[in-house]
Amino acid sequence: MRDFKSTIDIALHQIYELNFNLINVAVRIDQESKKLSYSGQDNYSSTLYKSAIFFQYTLFEALVNFLKDITTNLNNNQFENAPETVKSLSEKEIDFLNDQREVNDNGIKKKITQFNSTSDKLKKVPKYLSSLIGDEKSIALNCIEWQHFQDLEEIRNRITHPIIDYEGRVIDSSEPIMDFSAIKPIVTIAENNLFNGIIAMRWYIRELVKLLESLNSAKMEPLIKGLVTLDMFNRIAMISLSKVCGTSQEEIDKKFPVIGKQRYS
């Protein structure tokens, strides 16, 4: 059996590394934005913007997959020094966590792989985790921050699964293309898309912390502290991106103060 706190520390340090990658990209975007030739429409800045989108979305994936693993192992009593569970998950809930579902194949029940979307996991995993430790709780998603995540996901999907716009890319085929900077990026990303993505991440972390603290389990403290640290790293990335988006650090800290127990926006 693994120690609960040690497992959390190991996993979160890997997620922090992803955050450092996002911070590096955000700093580079800030530096490039000071150059007169910099534009969200050119290919170099488009590459930086896409990198920021990927790292923001990857952070969501890494975080929710980590929470999924924690929930699964708690349900299976695989941790030492972990919060006590008050129930077991249903077979359907366990199947969801394991990315599978049951089907009937000519009268024989069997499990098949069914990968769940990141958005579905963000909705359901906190509910499953809270139900194991105490009362079932959900993160309210009827807000602008959740829409920001959905926008982030849509842009990420457009980058990952591009559709060629033939009509918008008519060129003179008699001339070789030498100026690649003149080619329109296949997906145009605006500054507010970057900023709204990081807002969604900070909002989700805060809602997770609120949910976990409401369970009143002292043994959840390592997870809560790790999420607070994750928010701090996202704040650093947000400050760099805010300079591009024309938002001051004071505005950021007013809406998203550095969090801890009993301190939220």
For 147-173, the pLDDT digits (tens) are 999 999 999 998 888 877 666 554 555
pTM of the model as a whole: 0.86
Distance between CA atoms of residues 223 and 5, nearest Å: 8
Res. 69: pLDDT tops 60: yes
Number of folded domains that form the chain: 1
pLDDT at 143 over 50: yes
Residue-number span of the structural domain to which 187 is assigned: 2-85+118-162+183-255
Q: What is the per-residue pLDDT for 9?
A: 95
The answer to whether the beta carbons of residues 55 and 27 sit under 8 Å apart is no
Predicted local distance difference test score (pLDDT) of residue 179: 58
Residue 237 lies in a domain: yes
Q: Are 203 and 155 in contact (CB under 8 A)?
A: no
Taking the C-alpha atoms of residue 3 and residue 79, their distance in angstroms, rounded to an integer, is 6
Q: Which residue has the higher pLDDT, 207 or 30?
A: 207
Closest CA to 156 of 86, 57, 232: 57
Spatial distance between the Cα atoms of 205 and 49, rounded to a whole number of angstroms: 23
Query: Given this model, what pLDDT does residue 46 score?
Result: 82
pLDDT exceeds cutoff 70 at 231: yes
Q: Smallest Cα–Cα separation from 146: which of 81, 199, 83?
A: 199
Please compute the mean of the pLDDT values over residues 229-241 and round it to a whole number.
89
**What ranges make up the beta strands (E) of the chain?**
2-3, 79-80, 100-105, 108-113
Share of the chain above pLDDT 90, in %: 53
Does position 74 have pLDDT exceeding 90, yes or no?
A: yes
User: Is 234 inside any structural domain?
Assistant: yes
Q: Quick check: is 54 in a domain?
A: yes
In a domain, 104, yes or no: no
Q: What is the DSSP letter of 133?
A: H
| Three-class SS state of 236 | helix
Query: Would you call 219 helix, strand, or coil by DSSP?
Result: helix
Identify whether 108 is part of a domain.
Answer: no
In a domain, 140, yes or no: yes
> What are 82-137's pLDDT values in tens digits?
999 999 999 999 999 999 988 887 778 888 888 899 999 999 999 999 999 988 99
Q: Is residue 242 part of a domain?
A: yes
Asked if residue 110 belongs to a domain, the reply is no
Residue 196 pLDDT: 86
